[in-house]
């Protein structure tokens, strides 16, 4: 299968939301209780793109089949070189290498921005996501017990971390993302 990975636009919000909605309604992979509105999702994409890459993967027919993005880990200036990464794939697209290709493209863009540390927040019983991140070089760095409550159950949350590039004593300046990225995989 040949996918195209490109920077998302707010026009992709409807397709991205269609991928995300089942995760909200049916899983504790996200701790949102209600599916966001289309307008809310458009705003989220625009807000992310102001600073970080937000990528979508399209199949050969041009349908969005997955997305990945980076976000602020913490809002203090000292954290500029660290960000949180997130990925979601359309149902049925798991275990085909698409997630790895999306994350690799995301990491390549973040490296251009001089990002040093990547962090992923994963529900502790989401073994598939934990193994996925570990396969890509993420290491578990912390567990928070009973941190999220959804579907009448408490969930532990793991934080995983990957060092994208060696930290310099004085880091290079953080560079906001480039909207014109287009990669064919």
Give me the residue label for tokens 């532990």. Answer: 156
Sequence spans of domains, the chain = 4-172
Tens-level pLDDT at each residue, the chain (185 residues): 588 999 999 899 999 999 999 999 999 999 999 999 999 999 999 999 999 999 999 988 899 999 999 999 988 988 899 999 999 999 877 767 888 999 999 999 999 999 999 999 999 999 999 999 999 999 999 999 999 999 999 999 999 999 998 887 677 878 776 544 445 44
pLDDT value, residue 177: 66
pLDDT value, residue 78: 86
Q: What's the rounded Cα separation, in Å, for the pair 78 and 133? A: 25
φ, ψ of residue 161 to 5 degrees: the values are -135, 145
Indicate the pTM of the whole model.
0.90
Specify the pairing of strand 117-123 against strand 82-89: parallel
Q: Is the CB of residue 118 less than 8 Å from the CB of residue 83?
A: yes
Residue 72 structure tokens? 């602020």
Packed helices 127-135 and 98-112: angle between N→C axes, nearest 10 degrees: 50
Q: Is 4-172 in CATH node 3.40.630.30? A: yes
The span from the first CA to the last CA of the chain, in angstroms, equals 9
């Amino acid at each position: 299968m040949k996918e195209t990975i490109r920077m998302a636009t707010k026009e992709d919000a409807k397709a991205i939301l269609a991928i995300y909605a089942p995760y909200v309604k049916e899983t504790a992979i996200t701790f949102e209780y209600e599916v966001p509105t289309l307008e809310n999702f458009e705003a989220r994409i625009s807000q992310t793109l102001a600073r970080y890459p937000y990528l979508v993967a399209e199949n050969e027919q041009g349908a969005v089949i997955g997305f990945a993005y980076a976000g602020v880990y913490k809002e203090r200036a000292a954290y500029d070189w660290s960000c949180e990464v997130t990925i979601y794939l359309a149902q049925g697209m798991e275990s085909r290498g698409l997630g790895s290709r999306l994350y690799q493209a995301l990491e390549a863009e973040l490296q251009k921005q001089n990002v040093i540390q990547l962090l992923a927040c994963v529900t502790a019983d989401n073994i598939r996501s934990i193994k996925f991140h570990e396969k890509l070089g993420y290491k578990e760095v912390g567990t928070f017990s009973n941190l999220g409550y959804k579907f009448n159950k408490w969930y532990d949350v793991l934080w995983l971390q990957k060092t994208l590039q060696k930290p310099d004593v004085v880091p290079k300046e953080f560079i906001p993302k480039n909207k014109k990225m287009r990669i064919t995989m």
